[in-house]
Amino acid sequence: MANLGRYLDRNPDMRAAGLSSIMNTNALRESFLVAHIEEEAENRIRPLCRQHRPQPCKRTPKIPTNMIEEIFSNQSKGLFSEFQDNIRENMFIKKPLVGQAREANSKPDYVTNMSRTFGQICDTSPEDSLYCLVLPPKPAEQVNREFADCHDMHIISHNHYFPAEQINRRYAKSFNRYDTFGVHLGIDPSGKSVKGCLKEGDEHLTIVKKPQKDLEDRTKGPLGKKFTWYPYKIPENITFGRTLPHDIDVRSLLENTSPSLYSEKLAGAISHLNMLRKFLQERDDLNINQLITAFGKKDKEGNHQLPLTELIQVMRRMSIPVNMEKVRTAISHFKLFVDEGCCSEKVKYEDWCELLTIVKTLPIVGSISPTPKVMYNKDTAYRQLCADLLKKIPEGPNYRHHHRSLIKQDIYDTRVKDVISPELSTLCGLCPSDFKVLRNKVEIERIFNGIITKKNFESVWQRLMDEHKDQNDMASVAQFRTKMKKID
């Protein structure tokens, strides 16, 4: 446009830059918009649909016209509701009225507590005791006979057999447990044929094969001579096997002490205990109270004692590195065992936790290494010869029996004879310790009621108390029975 009129336009058909060929304002917008006919129709219909959409009506709360009395009254119920109520009433048992019992209909009306006596009338005299009524006395033969008769039923209920009794599997009738299994060869069951084969002949001749004789010549020596298995000659100064350690080592010479295996084990156990104390101090996720609680969960009896194996298992489960042999040596040294060396051996775990805590110091152990017996060598030939006079005669082994309870003592004193042929008192549920327990006068009189008169009982009791004044007016059944037999 700026050069219009100055230059010759050689292309008059081409329009100049910047001039539109169509003078329409919407032409540019329509050239950029590309829309589908269906989409354009949908956009035109949607505004019309919004205009003709019905407006939502406003809801108002409904106020009930009936009163509460009319709702709960029976007049408003229909036939179906009345029928439903009748069915619900019949579904449940009607309760009796207040002050009346519900009829059970289990006996006739003429049977009452006043017209009938229930049970069996006992013909016993009032002097009999209640014990005789509940458990009437039986002789020993009757008890053994009933025990043998009921043994088969007792096997079925309790699976209990006599010692060395054959187990009865209770197979079908075609099976007989007394028959012989396998192929019957018809051999003499008495064993006389075998005895005859093993017996030497009349001329006492023994037939020996040549291979057997050669084996005896190689393995057995001649009569009166020693057979040498090893063909080579061995010098006399050679020692076979493991040599024993020397009595004195370099450490004992430097420290001037005598060697002791126990002192070395105890030193290792105490060093292991100090390592455990330091290990528990450095751990932040574990304290002594948690360890005591873990031990208490294993303690079912509640006596604050646990076996050593369970103690080690709990500590290893809590990731505490413990050595069982060193822990046993330390616990034995500090005397924390209960019944040490017995089957009922246990450890006081609360005292063991006190040793593990760093708050309390360890008890004073003292000198672990023993002092030397002889500081200077003063032995002479005369003193060595006379040293036998100072020796004491060796005594027999002194066995320490730990305190046992009465039940454990009865189990310890039980023999095979008591199991095979038990006494009548054992079959009735009594133990031998029941006859040795001290009882007062009232219990002894009740036990011997009917066996001895009251007058004789007083005389026997008085003599028994004169002999045993240290029993505080108490005696056992065995003592009273022995005294009663002596007086008779």
Least confident of 285-289, 366-370, 384-388: 366-370
pLDDT averaged over the chain? 76
- Indicate the pLDDT class of residue 376, thresholds 50, 70 and 90: very low
165-189 burial: b if 16+ Cβ within 10 Å, else e: eeeeeeeeeeeeeeeeeeeeeeeee
- Amino acid making up residue 436: K
What domains are defined for the chain?
256-356 (1.10.238), 411-487 (no CATH)
Residue spans of alpha helices (H) in 256-366: 261-282, 288-298, 308-317, 324-333, 349-356
CB atoms within 10 A of CB 247: 8
Between 188 and 144, name the one with better pLDDT.
144
Task: Give the pLDDT score at 375.
Answer: 52
How far apart are alpha carbons 268 and 327 in whole angstroms? 10
The vertex-306 CA angle with 305 and 310, nearest 5°, equals 165
Express as a percent the part of the chain with pLDDT over 90: 0
Sign of the four-CA dihedral 279, 283, 289, 294: negative
Q: How far apart are CA 305 and CA 108, in angstroms?
A: 64
Q: Are 177 and 166 in contact (CB under 8 A)?
A: yes
Conformation bin of residue 47: beta by default, left when phi > 0, alpha when psi is -120 to 50: alpha
d(C-alpha 176, C-alpha 173), whole Å: 7
The 3-state DSSP class for residue 347 equals strand
> In this predicted structure, what is the pLDDT of residue 368?
59
Which region, left, alpha or beta, applies to residue 112 given φ > 0 means left and ψ of -120 to 50 means alpha?
Answer: beta
Per-residue confidence band for 204, with pLDDT thresholds at 50, 70 and 90:
low
Res. 381 pLDDT band, cuts 50 70 90 = confident
Evaluate whether 479 touches 464 at the Cβ level (below 8 Å).
Answer: yes
pLDDT number for residue 188? 72
The answer, yes or no, to whether residue 307 has pLDDT greater than 60, is yes
Residue 221 tokens read as: 């020596």
Please answer whether residues 449 and 129 qualify as being in contact, where contact means their C-beta atoms are separated by less than 8 angstroms. yes
**Residue 351, pLDDT score:** 87
Tokens linked to 476: 């056992």
Q: What is the C-alpha separation between 418 and 420, in angstroms, rounded?
A: 6
User: What pLDDT does residue 123 have?
Assistant: 58
Residues 423, 58: Cα–Cα separation, whole Å: 100
The two structure tokens encoding residue 344: 């009922």
Beta bridge partners of 449: 452
Q: What is the number of residues in the chain? A: 488
pLDDT of 371 > 60? The answer is no
- Whether 418 shows a pLDDT value over 70: the answer reads yes
Average pLDDT over residues 168-180: 78
From the number of C-beta atoms within 10 Å of its C-beta (0-12, 13-18, 19+), residue 357 rates as middle
- 197-to-187, 192, 203, 212 alpha-carbon distances in Å: 14, 9, 15, 19
H-helix or E-strand spanning residue 28 = helix 27-32
For 61, the token pair is 């709360």
Pair of tokens at residue 415:
């023999």
Among residues 280, 284, 303, the alpha carbon closest in space to that of 350 is found at: 303
Tokens for 115? 């017209």
Average pLDDT rounded to a whole number, residues 259-279? 81
pLDDT digits (tens, 9 = 90+) for 33-82: 656 788 888 888 888 888 888 777 666 665 655 566 666 665 556 778 77
Q: What is the distance between the alpha carbons of residues 24 and 7, in angstroms, rounded to a whole number?
A: 30
Q: Could you give the CA distance from residue 241 to residue 223 in angstroms, rounded to a whole number? A: 30
End-to-end CA, the chain: 164
Q: Which of 349, 249, 270, 343 is nearest to 306 (CA)?
A: 349
Question: Poorest-confidence range of 33-47, 124-138, 284-298, 436-450?
Answer: 124-138
Q: Quick check: 96 pLDDT over 70?
A: no
- Tell me the pLDDT band of 104, cut-offs 50, 70 and 90: confident
